[in-house]
Chain A
Amino acid sequence: MSECFEPNEPTGKPASGNPITRLLGSLVFALTVVLLLALACIAGTLIPQGSQVESYLAQPGDHPVLGVLTALGLTRIFYSWWFVGLLFALAASLLVCTRLRYRAMKRVTGSSRLRVMGSFITHVSLLLILSGGVVRVIWGQKGMIQFHAGQVVDRAESPEGELVFPFSIRLVKFDLEFHTNAMASKETPSDRLLVLWPEKELVAHYPIELNVERSVVAANAPAGTSPAFRVKVLRYVPDFTFDGATGEVKSRSDVPNNPAVQVEVIGGAGTNTQWVFSRFPDFGSHAGAGADMPLKFRFQTAPPEERRMQGPIKAFKSTVEVIENGVVADTRTIAVNSPLSRGGFTFYQTSYNPDDLSWSALQVVRDPGVPVVYAGFALMMVGLTLVFCIAPWLGEQTRMTGELR
């Protein structure tokens, strides 16, 4: 069995002690573990994993190969006992090699010492990163919050149970922003119909699409509940005018001087229609509507220049209030790449519902291993810089000085 340190590496004495330490400290053992991990990683990228399997199984037909792979545990490779075992074997090997490097560091001088020190620090950093991963697995928590504007939550759902925060958060609003970029690939009308249901704290946003029926469901309704209302846009006129003689609605021109949509609502007391005006949001004419119509409508139109330029989604963000002891302690906007950290929990903007823009989904993570992992990252760069930059440079300086003498 070859040893961890060979004579060409100026690090000194080979691994000694009991056979297990010698085995763990050998280069052959370390590289065998690395080879097995690499092969497992290759398999993990070629064989569908986790949720990908569910997507395949949801497709019609039999999936005998996938069934066999699942039975063999090859569809959850990165979380299998043997893969985790390989990571522990790697950690054990790193631990022994780190100890040997520490001993060797004391025996060498000059640039060689820096190189061994760099190698030692790099191996310590790998151990720290793996330790951070273990901390995450044991003490880390991850959950999801899905809430509507106005809703207050103090816990998140997770497969392991609920994550309860020492504070509450309230979704003030959700914003979806589009690129207003001339280079956007296609024009997308940005006019939207807002459906408000104040009693249920519901605000839904829909794009203006004629005769497309939208279901309006209360935020707290159980899953599978029939929609309370169905809403559709019957007609759009850019420049609303009413012909008193004929009783007809017409458009004075194609210019959006007075844009309006005719909305049909089915549900509640029956079917009714109403005109909703972009410029006169509080003015509505009901035809056959009951006075107790709980839904309110707003017709939002984008400025003409924005309408021409609107492109793909630029950002989606939630404005939230952090409530502690019944008092608003902080107001923050959470966006992708801009999470909110508080009380050991970090809230990430992960999703939204294009059909209901009052709805937002946040991922909540509590990972006490992150500082350990980041310390490992920093140490790794220090170690590698010592090995590949500083030690060779110092060695060269020493050689040049020797040659000059």
Chain B
Amino acid sequence: MTTILSMTTLFNASLAVYFCAMVCAVTGLISRKMLFDRVANALIVAGVSIQTLYLGVRWVEAGRAPFSNMFESLVLFGWTVAVVYLLLRIRTKLPWLAAAAAALSALVLAHASTFESDIRPLMPALQSNWLSFHVMTCFLGYGAFAISALASIGFLVVSRQNSTVASDTRQSLEMIVVQTISFGFLFLTLGILTGAVWANSAWGTYWSWDPKETWSLITWFVYAAFLHFKFMRGWRGRRAAWISILGFISVLFTYYGVNFLLSGLHSYAKQ
């Protein structure tokens, strides 16, 4: 009971910290004071730390990786969005991206709180060491694609402005989009491949055209097309931003749409 209470406290604390980070980042954007940006980033670091602790406690409590249902995967998604943002932050300073990433993490956690958070025993197919590796790699990819979509939306907004600052921002955003999509593509691929190896060890087939598998392949196609357009044809600007957004719509359908609209091998994920 004590652990469950402390888990709830950790969950609520991470949600509150991300929300405060968003408020700070927005205040920094309006007031143009860097102090708020620094505080916002410190809060995102705190949010990730609290969430990491939460995931660790839940892992120990459940005796397995806490990545098995909608609640747990949303918590992981919020965490990967913030982690990918922090990895980018090491090199790129974009205050509004801090606001967007913190807002998305807070929103995802708030949405997670609408699902059943009880720790449930795993069904036989999920009792595998592949669970943590497969889900973690997929969600690192999803987190990176989320940041790339946020950066692409930012690019589309900024690309209408004509100023030196806007030009610098555009360049930074384009770089972020390429970096996050490259990172996300690597991890999505690893996620799909580990899923295939797992499926082969559980059911004797590495690919069965299950809706989740098929939609992850569609998402992979979209981002593969983006990378080819970018590196082979030198596509930049709004066209590249739109493909990035299309890719994230595909990610959302792979993650969310498939769970609720289509049935298949991953149907447990919506519980």
Interface bits B168-189 vs A (CB < 8 Å: 1, else 0): 0000000000000011011001
The answer, yes or no, to whether A283 is at the interface (CB within 8 Å) is no
In this complex, how many residues of chain B approach chain A with their Cβ under 8 Å: the count is 45
Q: Given A27-B228, A45-B214, A365 and B205 touching (CB < 8 A)? A: yes
In contact, A337 and B193 (Cβ under 8 angstroms): no
In contact, B204 and A365 (Cβ under 8 angstroms): yes
Bound form: Cα–Cα A6–B200 in Å: 39
> Of the candidates A6, A8, A27, A339, which one forms a contact with B204 in the assembled complex, judged by CB atoms under 8 Å apart?
A339
22 A/B residue pairs, CB under 8 Å, sorted by A: A9-B231, A9-B232, A31-B225, A31-B229, A34-B225, A41-B217, A45-B211, A133-B207, A181-B121, A183-B120, A183-B121, A314-B124, A335-B124, A336-B124, A337-B128, A377-B193, A377-B196, A377-B197, A380-B193, A381-B189, A385-B186, A388-B186
- In the complex, chain B residues whose CB is within 8 Å of the CB of A2: 233
In contact, B183 and A388 (Cβ under 8 angstroms): yes
Interface bits B141-155 vs A (CB < 8 Å: 1, else 0): 000000000000000
Q: Given A31-B228, A381-B189, A337 and B202 touching (CB < 8 A)? A: yes
Bound form: Cα–Cα A4–B206 in Å: 31
- In the complex, chain B residues whose CB is within 8 Å of the CB of A44: 209, 214
Judged by DSSP, the binding face of A is mixed
* Closest Cβ neighbor of B205 among chain A residues: A365
Q: Given A42-B218, A377-B193, A377-B197, A6 and B234 touching (CB < 8 A)? A: yes
B:197-225 near A, CB below 8 Å:
197-198, 200-207, 209, 211, 214-215, 217-218, 221-222, 224-225
The answer, yes or no, to whether B190 is at the interface (CB within 8 Å) is yes
In contact, B224 and A34 (Cβ under 8 angstroms): yes
> Of the candidates B183, B186, B221, which one forms a contact with A37 in the assembled complex, judged by CB atoms under 8 Å apart?
B221
> Of the candidates B193, B205, B222, B258, which one forms a contact with A45 in the assembled complex, judged by CB atoms under 8 Å apart?
B258
Least distance between A96 CB and chain B CB atoms (Å) = 14
In contact, B127 and A315 (Cβ under 8 angstroms): yes
In contact, A337 and B209 (Cβ under 8 angstroms): no
In contact, A315 and B124 (Cβ under 8 angstroms): yes
Least distance between A115 CB and chain B CB atoms (Å) = 9
A:336-392 near B, CB below 8 Å:
336-339, 346, 348, 350, 363-365, 367, 370, 373-374, 377, 380-381, 384-385, 387-389
The answer, yes or no, to whether A102 is at the interface (CB within 8 Å) is no
Q: Determine the interface band of chain A, counting residues with CB < 8 A from chain B.
A: 35 or more
Bound form: Cα–Cα A385–B189 in Å: 11
In contact, B124 and A313 (Cβ under 8 angstroms): yes
In contact, A384 and B189 (Cβ under 8 angstroms): yes
Most chain A CB within a 10 A radius of its CB, from B118, B121, B185, B203: B121
In contact, A312 and B121 (Cβ under 8 angstroms): yes
Most chain B CB within a 10 A radius of its CB, from A5, A44, A78, A377: A377
> Of the candidates B118, B186, B225, which one forms a contact with A389 in the assembled complex, judged by CB atoms under 8 Å apart?
B186
In contact, B228 and A373 (Cβ under 8 angstroms): no
The answer, yes or no, to whether B60 is at the interface (CB within 8 Å) is no
Least distance between A359 CB and chain B CB atoms (Å) = 17
Bound form: Cα–Cα A313–B206 in Å: 24
In contact, A336 and B127 (Cβ under 8 angstroms): yes
The answer, yes or no, to whether B34 is at the interface (CB within 8 Å) is no
Least distance between B182 CB and chain A CB atoms (Å) = 4
The answer, yes or no, to whether A30 is at the interface (CB within 8 Å) is yes
* Closest Cβ neighbor of A11 among chain B residues: B232
* Closest Cβ neighbor of A179 among chain B residues: B121
The answer, yes or no, to whether A38 is at the interface (CB within 8 Å) is yes
The answer, yes or no, to whether A316 is at the interface (CB within 8 Å) is yes
Bound form: Cα–Cα A340–B161 in Å: 63
The answer, yes or no, to whether B262 is at the interface (CB within 8 Å) is yes
Q: Given A34-B224, A373-B206, A384-B186, A314 and B121 touching (CB < 8 A)? A: yes
- In the complex, chain A residues whose CB is within 8 Å of the CB of B165: none
* Closest Cβ neighbor of B219 among chain A residues: A38
